[in-house]
Structures are given as structure tokens and as C-alpha cells.
Amino acid sequence: MATKGTQSGASKTERLLALLDGQPVIPVLKITDVAHAVPLARALARGGLKAIEITLRTPDALECIRRVAAEVPEAVVGAGTILSASQFDEAASAGSKFIVSPGITRELLAAARDSEVPLLPGAITPGEIMAAREAGLDFLKFFPAEQAGGAAFLKALASPIADVRFCPTGGIGPKNAADYLSLPNVLCVGGSWVAPDDLVKAGRWDEIEALAKAASALRKAP
């Protein structure tokens, strides 16, 4: 089970932000071969992207998280596509430093409340965002970003819900990442373009490191 704790939502948000350490792009990874997990995490970390999200979309995702947590101390590994409290606990036990979910449910909120591992839940409607805010969460995933209205939608939320910040994910790449990062309520973006499937399968870690360096050079507008 996940480690129990009594931290407030606000303190957990601050812990999550400390883990991300101002990183502008969070790699969202779907790893199909366990053997790729460690060299991929090392290449991304060398490129400046230490915080990574390994999604639970493959049978060996938890083992990938375990290996990265044990063998790549320079990386901050998180788990994504968490849909239930049981998955939350499994991912935390595997060594995840943060948990990412595409949505928000009472079950997940309860699991996060009882754990020291911070949760980054997804929310796209004003109602979902307000519900998360009432639960003490003011840093949220906005997913699927492009399909849900993109940067224009997030810009419209910046005034009425000014105290909530986002990590948009979904349909974001090098051509539009800067549009999101220019918004006052966006702290970082998530994307898979820094680790293309063909480069991962071929073990072309130097090229992935170069993509990571380019992504880490993206910065928030002052």
C-alpha cells in the first residue's frame, strides 16, 4: 500500500512543484519493452528532463517504474494513466514520486489524501476544476488539451479561476508547446514527442537526449 500521510492538498502541490523543479516539459512515456526503461530515463535526464511520467498503458509499466526508481537516481519517475485507488497504491509502491490521472474521482481523491505521494489529476470543465479546487488541489492536468479547446480555452480560464494552474497534455508538440507555456496559468506541458517510438525501439538514446535538451530549453514567458 502507499505510504500514509496527513499532508494537505496545498502542501502536496508544493511538493509536486518541487519535484518538477520548473521543468517546462514532462515526458509522457508509453514503454513497451522493460529493457528500454532505464536507458530512456537516463537519456531524458541527461537532456534536462529529469521528471518523467510512465503511463500504465502497457503490461510492464509498473516494472519499468521500479527499474527507473532503483537504477536512475537522477530521474524523478511518476506514474500516469492512473484510474483507480488500487492503481494509485501499486504505482506508489513501485517507487513513483508523483501520480498522474486523466480525471478526478472521489476514490482517487481519497487515495491521494491518505498518501504522501502527490496527485496531479486531470480536469477540463469549469465544474471539474472547481471540484478539484474545493478538494485543495490547485495544480491540475488539462487533458486532452488540444481536443478540449487548447490554449485558447485555458487562456479563457485564467481570469475567472485565476488561482488554479495547469499542466496541459494531449496533442502538444514542439510546434505548439510555446503557445501553452506563454499562458499565466500554465506551469508546464506534457508530451511524448521527446521520445518517439521509432527512436526508442532503435535505442537511439543520443537523439532522444538531443530532443530532451531542445524541450528543456523551452521556458515560461516572464
User: Could you give the residue numbers annotated as active site?
Assistant: 53, 141
Q: Residues 165, 187: contact at Cβ < 8 Å? A: yes
Q: Residues 129, 149: contact at Cβ < 8 Å? A: no
For residue 5, give every residue at least 6 positions away whose Cβ sits within 8 Å of its Cβ, in sequence order, or none: 114, 115, 116
| Grid cell in block for residue 56 | 500504465
Which single residue is written with the C-alpha cell 517507487?
A: 95
Alpha helices in 58-204 (DSSP H): 61-71, 85-94, 106-113, 126-134, 150-157, 177-181, 197-202
For residue 121, give every residue at least 6 positions away whose Cβ sits within 8 Å of its Cβ, in sequence order, or none: 100, 101, 103, 104, 108, 109, 112, 132, 137, 140, 141
Tally of residues, the chain: 222
